[in-house]
């Protein structure tokens, strides 16, 4: 851990100003996008539950920043932020939330099932832990074909007590696959605190059971997240096998829009909000003289326009035609 | 096609897989003991020796893990054949099958392809009790997104396997242990059948009339087809001409062939080694009602496993499973009562 920390501390000097501002832009985009999605949800425009990642933006953005564009991403149902950070079009993502024909999955999947092949974003999945085995399978394919692509599989702390987690990590360990498992530890599996559900609450330590390295990083620090994930990804790319990366983070909103949040105190949430990771990142860049308030405000304005446009696009997009109902149950011949 | 050569169903399946691997190196076999062991029912015998561990992969006993992994392989353009050793083990991995494999094409708006074959062993009749003797094809056919393939002869087994491997959709391929022609467990007299050497395909959704007849239509799959053909011989001696239809695939289902046959014979018996309620026999009966009701001379008759777990005891197990004598009896009731 201490070696990693030193490396992370030196990161800012290695990055260009544009790169820092892009990380900021992505985090703000996720924040504004999800705030508008929440609004649309309360207006009845978005169905189901809607799981927001507000507060977890650095963990979303840092992971994607560490990947090559042809690396493969599998993730869970709290995935709007990851999809946006991966470069998916906010219009098509918002349209999918609205269930429209123009959505990334043509209105078949909704908020929890965003997928875009051109972004090697293989989907959000709504069964806790259920996607971990298929991520392992894609890594088997890369190993078989000799590809140097790496698979990254993201899940929450709630997923680590499923059988799928154990089976998948064991296989990755046995076969030394090019995969990085990223657990986004926001301290709660729905409403159950991790110390009430896990015998070992330091998830990264479980890596020992699968003969792979486990590391923990501050998921609320986008640079530390990126550096930690990058190291694991490059290790996998070099044929040195899988890793488990635990990103410590916190969600500001409930598990879903329908969550009364009886399991944690308002004070706890307020304490985390006071340390808002986006604001902290911005402050740090300003203090280090990397960017000015005016530059951040310009980004904020641009993001607001992007999100407005996404909502407008989703609103104006057609609902799927019932005549297309049976499309995509099977691959069309 | 030259059909003078005879093979067991196990050999027909492993030959189909071998020929497809030779044709396309994206074809990939994985499962518990499919490699060095050769598959518990020999469906993958000889493949490990021929193609090595890179392409014929032994897995841990982790059905959720490796069946889910097969989905990841398929999404990446590989064509995995993954074996679920006994279909009864579906319970530990049904999330992968029902919620992931069968739905991923849909969730991607049709962008993802899932060329995956889930091969599995079905059937009872050898006293293996309730967690190793089920058929369960009705359970899988109930779900949108999977194709369900059930061979009854070595010839069909090879052609349907090649079609399954070349299909871009997930296919569950369900062979019957008792039809495989294994020396250590066989439930049939003719353990081999004609199988052409060259690769060939059999289209899905086309039932095969295994025997033509005029007085009654017997519809079945798998071991039930074999038993129905035995029964048809016996019925012929009694002056009854039975038509035997092998559905071969439950999804897609060849409803047209069913309806055409019923219009000719006016009487239907459906034989199924799967459970009676909410299953294949009910679906066929409903199909006949919808498409050929006016032609029926008698209600559709069903012979299937009553709604009990498959018992271990020999007499109890034989009591619940369909058989040629029970089919003969059921046809006679259908015709004369």
Of B69, B77, B109, the CB nearest to A136: B69
The predicted pLDDT at position A333 comes to: 62
The beta strand positions in chain B, using DSSP E, are: 6-7, 27-31, 56-58, 79-86, 117-122, 147-149, 171-176, 193-194, 208-211, 216-220, 242-246, 249-251, 268-275, 301-305
The pLDDT mean for chain B works out to 96
**Interchain CB distance below 8 Å, A171 and B60:** yes
**Chain A residues in contact with B112 (beta carbon < 8 A):** 115, 117, 122
| pLDDT value at residue A3 | 39
pLDDT at B14 over 60: yes
Within the 74-103 window of chain A, which residues sit less than 8 Å (CB to CB) from chain B? 74, 103
Residue B105: which of A130, A135, A328 has the nearest Cβ? A328
Q: Does the beta-carbon distance from B62 to A171 stay under 8 Å?
A: yes
What architecture is domain A2-74+124-313? 3-Layer(aba) Sandwich (3.40)
Contact A137 B108 (CB under 8 A): no
Q: B266, B260, B265, B263: which is closest to B213 by C-alpha?
A: B265
Residue of B nearest to A128 (CA): B95
Q: Rounded to the nearest 5°, which phi and psi values hold at B46?
A: 85, -10
pLDDT of A6: 39
Q: Between A and B, how many CB-CB pairs are < 8 A?
A: 145
Structure tokens at A256: 């879903």
| Domain B208-336 indexed as CATH 3.40.50.920 | yes
A137 touches chain B (CB under 8 A): yes
Least CB-CB distance to B100: which of A104, A130, A328?
A130
Report CB contact under 8 Å: B64, A133: yes
Does the distance separating the beta carbons of B64 and A108 come in below 8 Å? no
Q: Where do the CATH 3.40.50.920 domains begin and end in chain B?
A: 208-336
Q: Is the dihedral of CA B192, B194, B198, B199 positive or negative?
A: negative
Over its length of 333 residues, how does chain A's per-residue pLDDT go in tens digits? 333 443 444 444 468 999 999 999 999 999 999 999 999 999 999 999 999 999 999 999 999 999 999 999 999 999 999 999 999 999 999 999 999 999 999 999 999 999 999 999 999 999 999 999 999 999 999 999 999 999 999 999 999 999 999 999 999 999 999 999 999 999 999 999 999 999 999 999 999 999 999 999 999 999 999 999 999 999 999 999 999 999 999 999 999 988 889 999 999 999 999 999 999 999 999 999 999 999 999 999 999 999 999 999 999 999 999 999 889 999 976
Rounded distance, CA A131 to CA A182, Å?
Answer: 13
Are A127 and B95 inside 8 Å of each other by CB?
Answer: yes
B142 counts as catalytic: no
* Chain A environment of B60 (Cβ under 8 Å): 167, 170-171, 174
The residue with greater pLDDT, B210 or A257, is: B210
Residues 126-145, chain B, touching A (beta carbon < 8 A): 144-145
The 3-class SS string of chain A reads CHHHHHHHHCHHHHCCHHHHHHHHHHHHHHHHHHHHHHHHHHCCCCCCCCCCCCCCHHHHHHHHHCCCCCCEEEECCCCHHHHHHCCCCHHHHHHHHCCCCCCCCCCCCCCCCCCEHHHCEEEECCCCCCCHHHHHHHHHHHHHHCCCCCEEEEEEHHHHHCHHHHHHHHHHHHHCCCEEEEEEECCEECCEEHHHHCCCCCHHHHHHHHCCCEEEEECCCHHHHHHHHHHHHHHHHCCCCCEEEEEECCCCCCCCCCCCCCCCCHHHHHHHHHCCHHHHHHHHHHHCCCCCHHHHHHHHHHHHHHHHHHHHHHHHCCCCCHHHCCCCCCCCC
Return d(Cα A81, Cα A27) in angstroms, integer: 8
CB count within 10 Å of CB B198 equals: 7
At B295 the three-state DSSP class reads helix
Task: Name which of A105, A122, A167 is nearest B109 (Cβ-Cβ).
Answer: A105
Domain ranges of chain A: 2-74+124-313
Kindly report the CATH number that applies to the domain delimited by B6-194: 3.40.50.970
Residues of A in contact with B78 (CB under 8 A): 141, 144
Tell me which of B60, B66, B72 to substitute to probe the interface with A (most A C-beta atoms closer than 10 Å): B72
Residues of A in contact with B108 (CB under 8 A): 105, 108-109, 115, 117, 123, 328
Q: What is the largest CA-CA distance in chain A?
A: 59
| C-beta atoms of A137 and B68 within 8 A | yes
Instruction: Give the pLDDT mean for B234-244.
Output: 98
Contact state of B111 with A167 under an 8 Å Cβ cutoff: no
Mutate to test the interface with B, among A140, A168, A169 (most CBs of B within 10 A): A140
ipTM entry: 0.90
Residues of A in contact with B56 (CB under 8 A): none
Which of A254-263, B18-27, B44-53, B115-124 bottoms out in mean pLDDT, i.e. has the lowest?
Answer: A254-263
Q: Are strands A151-156 and A179-185 parallel, antiparallel or unpaired?
A: parallel
A70 CB neighbour count, 10 Å cutoff: 11
């Amino acid at each position: 851990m201490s070696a990693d920390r030193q490396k992370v501390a030196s990161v800012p000097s290695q990055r260009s100003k544009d790169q820092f501002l892009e990380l900021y832009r992505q985090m703000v985009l996720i924040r504004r996008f999800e705030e508008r999605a929440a609004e649309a949800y309360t207006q009845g425009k978005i169905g189901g539950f809607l799981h927001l990642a507000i507060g977890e933006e650095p963990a979303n953005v840092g992971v994607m920043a560490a990947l090559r564009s042809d690396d493969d991403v599998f993730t869970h149902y709290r995935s709007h932020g990851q999809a946006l950070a991966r470069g998916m079009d906010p219009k098509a993502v918002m349209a999918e939330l609205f269930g429209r024909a123009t959505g990334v999955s043509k209105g078949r999947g909704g908020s929890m099932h965003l997928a875009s092949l051109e972004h090697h974003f293989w989907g959000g999945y709504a069964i806790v832990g259920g996607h971990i085995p298929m991520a392992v399978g894609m890594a088997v394919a890369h190993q078989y074909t000799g590809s140097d692509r790496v698979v990254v599989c993201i899940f929450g702390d709630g997923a680590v007590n499923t059988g799928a987690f154990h089976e998948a990590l064991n296989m990755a360990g046995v076969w030394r696959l090019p995969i990085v498992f990223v657990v986004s530890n926001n301290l709660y599996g729905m409403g159950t605190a991790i110390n009430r559900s896990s015998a070992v609450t330091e998830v990264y330590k479980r890596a020992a059971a699968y003969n792979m390295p486990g590391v923990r990083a501050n998921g609320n620090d986008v640079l530390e997240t990126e550096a930690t994930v990058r190291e694991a990804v490059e290790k996998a790319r070099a044929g040195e096998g899988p890793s488990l990366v635990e990103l410590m983070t916190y969600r500001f909103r409930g598990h879903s829009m329908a969550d009364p949040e009886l399991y944690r105190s308002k004070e706890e949430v307020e304490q985390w909000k006071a340390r808002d990771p986006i604001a902290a990142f911005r402050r740090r860049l300003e203090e280090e003289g990397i960017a000015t308030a005016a530059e951040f405000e310009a980004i904020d304005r641009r993001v607001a326009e992007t999100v407005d446009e996404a909502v407008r696009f989703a609103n104006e997009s057609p609902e799927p035609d019932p005549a297309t109902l049976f499309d995509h149950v099977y691959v069309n011949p | 096609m030259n059909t003078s050569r005879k093979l067991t169903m196990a050999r027909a399946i492993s030959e189909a897989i071998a020929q497809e691997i030779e044709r396309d190196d994206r074809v990939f076999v994985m499962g518990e003991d499919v490699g060095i062991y050769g598959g518990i029912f020999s469906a993958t015998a000889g493949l490990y020796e021929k193609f090595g561990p890179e392409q014929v992969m032994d897995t841990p006993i982790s059905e959720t893990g490796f069946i889910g992994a097969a989905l990841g392989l398929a999404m990446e353009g590989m064509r995995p054949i993954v074996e679920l050793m006994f279909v009864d083990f579906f319970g530990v991995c049904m999330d992968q099958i029902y919620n992931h494999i069968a739905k991923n094409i849909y969730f991607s708006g049709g962008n993802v392809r899932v060329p995956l074959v889930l091969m599995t062993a079905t059937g009872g009749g050898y006293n293996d009790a309730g967690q190793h003797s089920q058929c369960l094809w009705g359970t899988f056919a109930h779900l949108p997104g999977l194709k369900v393939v059930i061979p009854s002869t070595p010839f069909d087994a090879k052609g349907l396997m090649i079609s399954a491997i070349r299909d871009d959709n997930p296919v569950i391929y369900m062979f019957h242990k008792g039809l495989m022609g294994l020396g250590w467990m066989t439930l049939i007299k003719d353990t081999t059948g004609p199988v052409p050497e060259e690769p060939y395909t059999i289209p899905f959704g086309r039932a095969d009339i295994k025997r033509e007849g005029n007085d009654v239509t017997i519809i079945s799959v798998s071991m039930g087809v074999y038993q129905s053909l035995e029964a048809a011989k016996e019925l012929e001696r009694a002056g009854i001409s039975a038509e035997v239809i092998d559905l071969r695939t439950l999804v897609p289902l060849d409803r047209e062939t069913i309806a055409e046959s019923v219009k000719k014979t006016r009487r239907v018996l459906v034989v199924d080694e799967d459970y009676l309620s909410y299953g294949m026999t009910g679906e066929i009966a409903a199909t006949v009602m919808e498409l050929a009701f006016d032609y029926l001379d008698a209600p559709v008759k069903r012979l299937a496993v009553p709604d009990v777990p498959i018992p271990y005891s020999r007499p109890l197990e034989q009591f619940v499973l369909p058989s040629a004598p029970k089919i003969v009896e059921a046809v006679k009731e259908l015709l004369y009562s």
